[in-house]
Structure 1
């Protein structure tokens, strides 16, 4: 509740409704930034909401990827020592991090490398040492910031992530969708989005399985998604998506149809008014009588 409007924070309410002046997650911070940007543009439409859902922007990447790439390039001899004590050549990783587009789209190259690196980094480096600029309640959306690449654990996390991907036979600049997938009917369906730890709004929590080629199956995350608004008529404009599809029966036509739509960041047009229903190309009328 405190940051429902970051420009005018709410205070003075009972603590049972939430804390005031405390640090929030990268996902919360990223969402506030995105909503504020939409509000500033004005004229919000359903298409804006659709774009927001699948922007797949990575706040952690925006804050840290470039600094990580520079620190990587500055490592003596282009090597870093992993947690097993072995030296790892990370020169290729420097370029992959620098070229990454800071998103978790299925065609984003370097996204998987940063994802694996970030998970290891925040486990290795205490939160108080992760950033050079600490959290400030006076600037809660933009702090903390500036990655502390001198922190013990930075180089090790980089080395471990590079070694992990190489051991799995995955290129450091591989497209995310080649390795973050769900399997339906024996087919691998690429899945966009990323973990909440990265701050991605389109939350996806997959299971890492190196022997299966990276991430396999999505444990939790975006499920029922909707963008709804009005355009001046009496009928709502609605786009929806059930990411795991409508049927658990592998023989059903609806076993993976909306999962494939999700993979391509497409939507289902929901029809509420009679004229919209009658205009549907998929309309099938069944008359029931005694």
Structure 2
């Protein structure tokens, strides 16, 4: 256990970041502390001189690495810890407790959301206006349509998700249905053959003619 000096005094820091799984999944604990540390330290995805080993295009997986520990980084970490402690938020809270999408069709029910900001080095981008007064992250921007295609002996095997779902009307059952599936990482197998399309069709069939 170490004492980190911040503008608010000495704070006892338990190794939350050491136990963080280095992911931004819903059950990842400590990701929010890293996020605010990174923001307060003023780093970005273009930062290079803050690392002892700078980015090397011949070794993109392992570089950059070994963050330089300075008065600025110590201050940023201490301030990030103090920020959440002052709001009564556990440093080892899961990301899904703090980061979510609101379902207006169900009284603003929270849909826990994984992902993070590109500046954190996250490929799965999910962002909003930033941390709010309560210390939460309300997501309103990120991936839209995602699709994967493979092939088997019968032809294409396609899975997809529309992260925003299909209906802006909050009274419709499709308002946040795929958002919830996206939260659960539950892909939808898309129909390909005529019989599959017919079985899964919703609503009336409209035929277009020239």
Structure 2 length as normaliser, TM-score? Answer: 0.85
CA RMSD of aligned residues (A): 2.4
| Alignment check: 8 A CA contact 1:261 1:267 kept | yes
| Structure with greater strand share of residues | 2
- In the alignment, which residue of structure 2 is the partner of 1:80? 5
Q: Deviations over 1:3-32 (max 9, x none)?
A: xxxxxxxxxxxxxxxxxxxxxxxxxxxxxx
Q: CA deviation at 1:228?
A: 1.2
Is 1:184 the counterpart of 2:103? The answer is: yes
Instruction: Trace 1:158-237 onto structure 2 (pairs within 5 A).
Output: 158-185=77-104, 186-218=108-140, 220-234=141-155, 236-237=156-157
1:122/1:286 Cα in 2 relative to 1: closer, same or farther (>3 Å)?
same
Instruction: Trace 1:5-154 onto structure 2 (pairs within 5 A).
Output: 73=1, 75=2, 78-81=3-6, 85-92=7-14, 95-123=15-43, 127-149=47-69, 151-154=70-73
| Structure 1, unpaired ranges of 5+ | 1-72
Q: Tell me the distance in 1 between the aligned counterparts of 2:184 and 2:190.
A: 18
Greater RCO, CA 8 A, separation 6+: 1
Aligned length: 203
Q: CA deviation at 1:189?
A: 0.7
- What's the secondary structure of 2:174's corresponding residue? coil
Q: Tell me the distance in 2 between the aligned counterparts of 1:145 and 1:193.
A: 22
- What's the secondary structure of 2:116's corresponding residue? coil
| Alignment check: 8 A CA contact 2:100 2:138 kept | yes
Decide which of 267, 270, 285 is 2:187's aligned counterpart: 267
Is 1:251 the counterpart of 2:171? The answer is: yes
- What's the secondary structure of 1:241's corresponding residue? strand
Q: Deviations over 1:218-258 (max 9, x none)?
A: 3x221111111211323x11111111111111111111101
Structure 1 length as normaliser, TM-score? Answer: 0.63
Q: Tell me the distance in 1 between the aligned counterparts of 2:96 and 2:126.
A: 13
| Structure with greater helix share of residues | 1
1:152/1:285 Cα in 2 relative to 1: closer, same or farther (>3 Å)?
closer
